[in-house]
């Protein structure tokens, strides 16, 4: 992986979220919403996930504001503050099961079946990798 340029905001965010996760402390983050407005959220970090795609990192967390699990890209968090309040990750939470239907780190409810066709030279490259645990590959017409 190529070295990323120094980013002190990202470094502070990563450290704060990682310490919150390790110590089971709630973290307040400032994160852009769908309308691009940066808003504070209280999260309970359940898992940190680096992704080779885009050289990014994510936190899978319970968002207290909506009471649901969410995935936040650490590079989009503009500020993070540790809180003193603690939380517990449910004993039955399994990150592998949670992400089993995800595409990379993206988790969004019900699975969707997708069929893709590739030009033969591209198909050979596609076969080199496992893109999703449920994938099925087949040869098309010659």
DSSP track, 93-133: --HHHHHTT-BTTB--SS---------HHHHHHHTTS---T
Contacts of 77 (CB under 8 A, 6+ apart): 13, 17, 29, 30, 31
Q: What is the pLDDT of residue 52?
A: 62
Q: What is the pLDDT of residue 142?
A: 62
Task: Write the pLDDT tens digit of every residue in 110-135.
Answer: 667 778 788 787 877 777 776 666 77
Give yes or no for residue 77 having a pLDDT over 70. Answer: yes
Average pLDDT over residues 21-46: 96
Domain range summary for the chain, segments of one domain joined by +? 8-99
Q: How confident is the model at residue 97 (pLDDT cuts 50, 70, 90)?
A: confident
- What is the CATH number assigned to the segment(s) 8-99? 2.30.30
Q: What is the pLDDT of residue 29?
A: 99
């Amino acid at each position: 992986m190529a070295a990323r340029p120094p980013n002190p905001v990202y470094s502070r965010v990563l450290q704060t979220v990682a310490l919150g996760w390790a110590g089971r402390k709630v973290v307040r983050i400032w994160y852009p919403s769908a309308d691009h407005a940066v808003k504070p959220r209280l999260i309970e970090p359940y898992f940190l996930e680096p992704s080779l795609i885009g050289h990014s990192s994510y936190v899978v967390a319970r968002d207290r504001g909506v009471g649901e699990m969410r995935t936040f890209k650490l590079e989009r968090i503009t500020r993070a503050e540790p809180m003193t309040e603690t939380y517990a990750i449910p004993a039955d939470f399994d990150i592998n099961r949670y992400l089993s239907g995800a595409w990379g780190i993206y988790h969004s409810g019900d699975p969707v079946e997708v069929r893709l066709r590739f030009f033969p030279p591209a198909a050979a490259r596609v076969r080199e990798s496992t893109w999703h645990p449920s994938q099925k590959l087949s040869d098309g017409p010659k």
